[in-house]
Amino acid sequence: MPELQRLRADHAPALLAFEQENRAFFAASVPDRGDDYFARFDARHAALLAEQAAGLCHFHLLVDTEGEILGRFNLVDVADGSADLGFRIAEKATRRGLATATVRQLCTLAATEYGLTTLRAAAALDNTASRTVLARTGFVPTGEEILLNDRPGLGYVRSTAAEV
């Protein structure tokens, strides 16, 4: 069974492989990270760990029993009891309920471990999979229309009050 793990320095090689192997798949539904992301991956990974250590973000990976990364699940811009949720799952791990189960688990962690009361998210209108995960995990549309790299999207919000 895959395990949700907090991002660590030793995750770097597997995380880079995950991002490279799924780049085209991700680019079909979320903005591409660009070549610079891969060229400067080690520096970016170190910066993420520093942000996490400062309590500004909480980064998580869904890791299978062999150590392969199946997904990223992040809480970013932590402030005033709220954070923004972002997630992506490997193409080969889709359609198995892993994203839904992991977002549920992260919502519980947000409340019980990180003291967050509100989570926000956004998804492109044409990203049916992410919008479905958000709906299944208790996120509701805010009515806010958002542009995600020039693609129309919607904002979502969820309280974590039921998790405590």
The domain segmentation of the chain, as residue ranges, is: 3-163
Task: Give the model's pLDDT for residue 98.
Answer: 97
Q: Which of 152, 80, 89, 75 is nearest to 120 (CA)?
A: 75
Q: What is the DSSP-derived secondary structure letter of residue 37?
A: H
At 163 the pLDDT is 80
| Tens of pLDDT, residues 35-79 | 999 999 999 999 999 999 999 999 999 999 999 999 999 999 999
Q: Which two tokens stand for residue 101?
A: 């189960």
- 121 strand-pairing partners: 156
Low-confidence ranges of the chain (pLDDT < 70): 164
What's 3-163's CATH class?
alpha beta
- Hey, what are 88's tokens? 């992506």
- Both tokens of residue 131? 């919008």
Res 7: pLDDT = 98
- Which pLDDT belongs to residue 164? 66
Rounded CA separation 54/57 (Å): 8
Maximal C-alpha separation, the chain: 42
Query: Which residues, 6+ apart, have CB-to-CB distance to 137 below 8 Å?
Result: 100, 103, 104, 107, 158
Query: Phi and psi at residue 36, in whole multiples of 5°?
Result: -60, -35
Is residue 15 a contact partner of residue 48, using CB atoms and an 8 Å limit? no
